[in-house]
Structure 1
Amino acid sequence: MKKFASFYLFSSFILSGFSYAQNTASGTVYNDLNNNQVRDKNEPGLANICVSNGREVTTTDKAGKWTLPVNGDTGFFVIKPAGYQVPVSAEQLPRHYYLHKPKGSPTTQTEGVAPTGPLPRSIDFPLRPQAEDKQFSVLLFGDPQARGLTEVNYVMHDVVEECIGTSAKFGITLGDIVADDPNLFGEINAGVAQIGIPWYNTFGNHDFNRGATDDQFSDETFERFYGPSTYAFEYGQVAFIVLKNIYFTPDGKYKSQFTDTQIDFVRNYLKHVPENKLVVLVMHAPLVRSGNRNELFQLLEKRPHTFSVSGHTHTMAHVFADSKWGWNGPKPHHHFINATVCGSWWVGLKDETGIPHATMNDGAPNGYSILTFNGNQYKIQFKAARRPADYQMNIYLPEEQSPANWDTTQVVVNVFAGSARSTVEMQVPGQTGWIPLSLKPSGDPAVAAMAQLGPFLDATVDGTKLEKVFGWKMDEPETSHHIWRGSMPKNIPKGTHRLSIRTTDQFGQTYSASRIFRVR
């Protein structure tokens, strides 16, 4: 593995000699005309390109040169500008960085970065022009969270295989790539690479180096595979800022917050981002749960176009942050908590293909999202794993009842990616109009029923716990923030009928579903 790390460090950039002045680093961003990731004599430098050391952000001069402060553990990265591409590895991982760790990573249970030696005299970043339309899509994977190769295979068969051939321009994993075993990064990367598009990654609390005694060293294996855990890049009219907002405390626990260095990085980078661009913050834990989010809010709230996305909770939700969350902009900030690839940690009965149902604790199926941009505007579409694209809700209604019981029967609808800005309506027998349903956050009925299997799975047969046969036991159900309710009308005639549901989300996307029931 050390051979891999050293090969990468010295193959992606020109490292011309070594510098003995260790207080600054410098290099060139250049147009890699022949795509060999080595700066040849005829390849010009590129001006006005942002380069960072994770705190300061500078721009290249007319010759493509840059200079930044350095310390004994610094990750330098070029911020990919719109209209350019950075090299990617065989695993489709962007190679936009250089790690300066003269002594390498501290020893932990998983291998970090090998010693990089003295600071190179020149750290040169290659870029190549590429066409970028203002309209493009991105795949968002939340929490694949694989425990061992069995669950790596679940990720591949449940989600990755159906994404092959996507029109998305790149993908982003929102942290918890693995479940406490960074040694599996390589296996996950090799599988996700089969989708065939560049893939960016975010640090999650389950991606940490076990045994690290300082937050600074909690992401050493992550850095070996993916580079700095805080970075930025641009595509079209969108500036993406990826932030590690998992902070490990000396007692081995973690909390969600940003460091002063990260806040400085965002502040310094935004000075170079025009007001007409959409700024998208990407992180693992929800922004609204981060302790010092107000410092970030203050940097963003005067900008007209902002959005943020996270994973972590194993539920799906839209939060429209206003003053009660510390956001004081003219309109609420939209934060989207994405669905998880692993659902509820790959828990549940297995289907005919051997994959657990993995329903999330809010009743939404496991899956991913497709984030589509048009200039500085965006929309989100949820995609349930291995299900049709229009599978967007579950309807709960008794299949059969006598006429007298329908008067007090509630229609319950879980619109998986619904929000407070969605409308949900129903149409019942004998009516041509649509009746609005009310948003009533509550538990999902199916999840509540599945949770009752918990004690059953504690039982044993011939000394083997049934959970080993039928799947891991689910966590307790959680409140779903996308449940709608309404009352059935009176006097439904006897017979077989169809209940129709339609929903329109904040982006104007409309979905429908039906449920058949009988009045006996």
Structure 2
Amino acid sequence: MRIPVFSFLLPALLLSCVLSAANAAVPCEGGTVFEDRNGNGRRDSGEPGIAGVKVSDGVTLAATDANGAYRLPPVDGRSLFVIKPAGYLSTRRSDGLPDLWANTRTAPGPVLKFGGMPVQPVACRNFALRKAKPSPNRQQRLDVVVFADPQAKSQRDVEYYRRDIVEPLKHDTAIDMGHGFGRFYFDGIAGDMGISLGDITHDDLSLYPALTAATTSLGVPWLHVAGNHDLDFDATRDEDSLLTFRHHFGPDTHAWEEHEATFVLMDDVIHQPGSKPSYIGGLREDQFAFLERYLPTVPRDRLLVLAVHIPFFDAESGRETFRRADRERLFALLQAFPRVLLLSGHSHTQRHVHHGAASGWHGATPLHEYNVGAACGAFWSGVKDADGIPDTTMADGTPNGYARLQVRPGGEYSLSWHPTRLSAGNAANSQAMRLSAPQVLRRGAWPAFAVHANMFMGQDDTRVEYRIDAGAWRPMQRVVAPDPWLVAENTRDDQADALRGYDRAPPAGPSSHLWRGILPTDLVLGEHRVEVRAFDRWQGEQRAVVQYRLEGAAE
């Protein structure tokens, strides 16, 4: 992984707008993208412009000339942004986010509870980039940290997010310098970049600065997708529903380029005020206009990643949760790319979907969508641990956490899920799966009881096997059913005569990554060891162990 170098200075506006006789600002129609060699955020003598950098307002696409200059007339209400080219790093805004965008707002918009987008006079804007330096930590791959649904409802939840997601990630990636003083975290070593897949908050947009401060403490360039809980719900039309989000995070359609992958991040929440449902998944005409201009410029020798909030698949049988016409139109644009990965959030469960003709994909191979589990898990619910952090296991039995996407040159990629905590009292836990089994069975009982393995990154074709007492390996059967561990947690909540946590665990729902193996009861009395192994497509063989006991019983 490479350690990004950022400028910590606020960028200055480097080109002056021509003033009229009345000394009022005349809209500027361009600027420069330049190489910030000394890292101070402003263009100094000898710092050249960078040719061929793409600049957009979410609809129109321009490119810088040989001197790094671009021309893009401002349009009120749009966000101007630079598509960071491969081989360069962005400078950093005062809040720690990449400084690659500027909003245009010449007249007051609707009055919104959380402020919306304030008036910002149009000024010529230069953008600073720094050349990426080779790093000894670089392992010939791009390392991307992926959060879905941090979804803080309150400052208390922001602290859960910081303590449960961000701080452990720092600890896990800290470096032992060998001097005996322990491990140290250095700015930016958690990954090469990060993405949050929407629902940054749970309707309280005033929490954005606190959440951003926690996230950017990782020192990683971080990009944000908008979710349905990031909307200005008092906006009366979809066009105004992300004004506050855009004030804090910039354009709701954005792109970012690396040598190994191209990232396109899009708002796919269509706000429908006054209707039921109040939103649906889909894309706007201006987004298709951008894609139709931008995608032909994207190299085909790398991975193309589309990051959104609402999944492209229909989450409910018989109900359109993503507009089918939009999905088919999008998939047609993607069909020419040999390697495409879709990333989505929203569901607070985890699954892999491989799109085919039934969902409008007609490529040579199925189109992979990874629906990423939530950082907040089940909305920061459940029993708190010794550190005061809720268990917050999701409805499909997946523990909360974050994902990593690693991309190698040529576009080959791997994915992994990183639980932040698993229940300490369950010895069957591993980072890859959770096992559930009865503790004791009667010897000679009808063999109807099973060990269950919830393989968090499991897919339909994942090979999962088990063996008893180091015997022969036998296949486990994939089942679509609730996770027994969460069912038991629901029962404990039901039987408690007082609240066990601020919110109880979610009702267990069908899990798409659960396997079952019958436990034999014709073995000798006593303890028996059950070992499970699963073959993860990217991480290889994963193992976990649990025990059960056979006892004799008098009639």
Q: Normalization by structure 2: what TM-score?
A: 0.86
Alpha-carbon shift at residue 489 of structure 1 (Å): 4.1
Alignment of 1:443-482 (within 5 A): 443-452=482-491, 466-467=498-499, 470-482=501-513
Change (3 A) 1:96 1:406: farther
1:125 is matched with which residue? Answer: 127
What is the aligned-residue RMSD (CA, Å)?
A: 2.4
Q: Given the alignment of the two structures, is residue 440 of structure 1 paired with residue 479 of structure 2, yes or no?
A: yes
Shift in Å, 1:196 = 2.2
- Structure 1 window deviating more from structure 2 (388-397 vs 363-372): it is 388-397
- The residue type equivalent to 1:349 in the other structure is V
Post-superposition CA distance 1:213-265 (Å, at most 9, x none): 11111111111111111101012310010000111013171111111111221
Deviations 1:305-364 (A, max 9, x none): 100111110000011111111111000111001111111011111112111110100011
The answer on 1:213 being equivalent to 2:217 is no
Partner of 2:261: 238
**Deviation, structure 1 residue 18:** 4.5
Partner secondary structure for residue 342 of structure 2:
strand
Q: Unpaired segments of 5 or more residues in structure 1? A: 1-7, 460-465
The residue aligned with 1:39 is 43
Give the aligned partner of residue 414 of structure 2: 379
Contact kept in structure 2, 1:248 and 1:255, CA below 8 Å: yes
Structure 2 CA distance for aligned equivalents of residues 52 and 434 of structure 1: 56
- In structure 1, give the amino acid aligned to 2:413: Y
The gaps in structure 2 that reach 5 residues or longer are: 1-7, 175-188, 315-321
Q: Using structure 1 for the length normalisation, give the TM-score.
A: 0.91
Q: Secondary structure at the match of 2:217?
A: helix
CA gap of 1:69–1:438, structure 2 versus 1, over 3 A, is farther
Counterpart of 2:102 (choices 98, 104, 127) is 98
- Matches of 2:12 and 2:245, distance apart in 1: 18
Any idea what the Cα deviations from partners look like across 1:140-173, whole Å, max 9, x if unmatched? 1111111111111111111111111344112211
Aligned partner (choices 46, 52, 56) of residue 56 of structure 2: 52
* Aligned residue type for 1:381: S
- Between the aligned partners of 2:240 and 2:45, the Cα distance in structure 1 is 39
Q: Count matched residues.
A: 502
**Structure 1 position 123, deviation (Å):** 2.3
User: 1:149 pairs with 145, 150, 155, which one?
Assistant: 155
Q: Which residue of 2 aligns with 1:189?
A: 212
Q: Of 264, 272, 283, which residue of structure 1 is paired with 2:297?
A: 272
Answer yes or no: is the 8 Å Cα contact 1:22–1:71 preserved in 2: no
Aligned positions of 1:325-344 closer than 5 A: 325-344=359-378
Displacement of 1:410 after TM fit?
Answer: 2.2
> SS where residue 398 of structure 2 aligns?
coil
**1:445-499 CA distance string (max 9 Å, x none):** 1222333356557x6xxxxxx44x6221344322110011222346322221111
Instruction: Indicate the SS of the match to 2:65.
Output: coil
Secondary structure at the counterpart of residue 299 of structure 1: helix
In 1, are the aligned partners of 2:379 and 2:392 still within 8 Å (CA)?
A: yes
- Give distance in 2, aligned partners of 1:488 and 1:386: 28
Q: Secondary structure at the match of 2:30?
A: strand
Matched, 1:283 2:322: no
What SS is found at the alignment partner of 2:480? coil
- Does structure 1 residue 85 correspond to structure 2 residue 89? yes
- Does the CA contact (< 8 Å) of 1:141 and 1:368 recur in 2? yes
Deviations 1:387-431 (A, max 9, x none): 599521111221111222262222211111111232111111362
470 and 390 in structure 1: CA distance in 2 versus 1, 3 angstrom threshold: closer
Matched-pair contact (CA < 8 Å) for 2:442–2:550:
yes
Tell me, in whole angstroms, the C-alpha distance in 2 between the residues paired with 1:505 and 1:354.
32
Give the 3 Å change call, closer, same or farther, for CA 143–518 of structure 1 in structure 2: same
- 2:381–2:501 CA contact under 8 A, matched in 1: no
* 1:496 alignment partner AA: E
CA offset digits 1:178-221 (Å, max 9, x no partner): 11011000011112222222221111111111311111111111
- How many Å apart are 1:441 and its aligned residue? 1.5
Which secondary structure state, in structure 1, belongs to the residue aligned with residue 286 of structure 2?
Answer: helix
Greater helix share, 1 or 2?
Answer: 1
Residues 477-488 of structure 1 correspond to what in structure 2 (within 5 A)? 477-488=508-519
Distance 1:285 1:12, change over 3 A: farther
Q: Percent identity?
A: 31
Deviation at 1:71, TM superposition (A): 2.2
The corresponding residue for 2:284 is: 259
- Equivalent position SS for 1:452: helix
